[in-house]
Amino acid sequence: MAKQEWKPGNMLYPLPAVLVTCRDAKGHDNVLTVAWTGTINTNPPMVYISVRPERYSYEMIRSTKEFVINLTTKELAWATDFCGVNSGRDMDKFERCKLHKEAASVVAAPLIAESPVNIECRVTEEKKLGSHSMFLAKVVLVHADEAYMDEKGRFSFAKAKPIVYSHGEYYRLGEKLGTFGYSVKKKGKKGKKPSKKR
């Protein structure tokens, strides 16, 4: 199969499309869409978001060192796009998108009630990298909506219908292909991994 060579670019896909909420020292709230985000550590749990310094929310996050990552769903797709192409300098995006605020438990920034999962974060470091600044942050609390729990009490992403972003387009995640470790499980013994050779 022939492959073309392209100039360096961000071809990693898909990416989570999340709504990040923040609040400045005067109590003004904003919500912005972020796709440059992800997990960076397990213990302590840490995440990152990368934000352009010219964005309205950049200074709010830089000064307060707090934000909330709100996961998105199929129902939040329109709001996710709207909050990514409009500035909080010009409007109240919560009002325009009919998003409802809920008080966080640890940070000052609000949660989005419609989001299935809200991740409260405190910034530990900012890295200025060029077009974007990366905020590394500790996860201080997670909120999971009980409406998305399955019969075993586990959070069901199938119920949440999460969306992702890839090169200017949004997609809903669909078919489950397997579970962690399924490639090494013995046939006929569900849930059991082969014993390690000693």
On whether the pTM is more than 0.75, the answer is: yes
Q: How far apart are CA 168 and CA 33, in angstroms?
A: 13
Distance CA 119, CA 69 (A): 5
Report which secondary-structure segment, H or E, holds 157.
Answer: helix 157-160
Q: Tell me: the pLDDT tens digits for 152-178?
A: 989 998 888 899 999 999 999 888 888
Domains of the chain: 15-184 (2.30.110.10)
Name every residue whose Cβ is closer than 8 Å to that of residue 113 and which is 6 or more positions away in sequence. Answer: 99, 100, 101, 102
Strands 66-70 and 169-172: unpaired
Q: Tens of pLDDT along the chain (198 residues)?
A: 899 999 998 889 999 999 999 999 999 999 999 999 999 999 999 999 999 999 999 999 999 999 999 999 999 999 999 999 999 999 999 999 999 999 999 999 999 999 999 999 999 999 999 999 999 999 999 999 999 999 998 999 888 889 999 999 999 988 888 888 999 988 765 555 545 554
